Amino acid sequence: MGVSERVPVTVLVLVAAPDSPEPLAAEIR
């Protein structure tokens, strides 16, 4: 279930800021 919750979040991050997904991903982690 944890993976299902992370999938939509990752997609939103990539769509919201595809130019800098690394820093955003670090914040989510």
If you write DSSP's letter for every residue of 5-18 in order, what string do you get? HHHHHHHHHHHH-T
Check residue 11 and give its pLDDT. Answer: 77
Residue type, 18: P
Its domain, for residue 6, covers 1-29
SS3 of residue 19 by DSSP? coil
Q: Are 6 and 25 in contact (CB under 8 A)?
A: no
- The tally of domains found in the chain comes to 1
pLDDT of 1-29, one tens digit each?
A: 566 777 777 777 777 666 655 665 666 55
Cα 10 from Cα 20, distance rounded (Å): 12
Cα 2 from Cα 21, distance rounded (Å): 20
Check residue 27 and give its pLDDT. Answer: 63
Check residue 20 and give its pLDDT. Answer: 59
Q: What is the pTM of this model?
A: 0.31
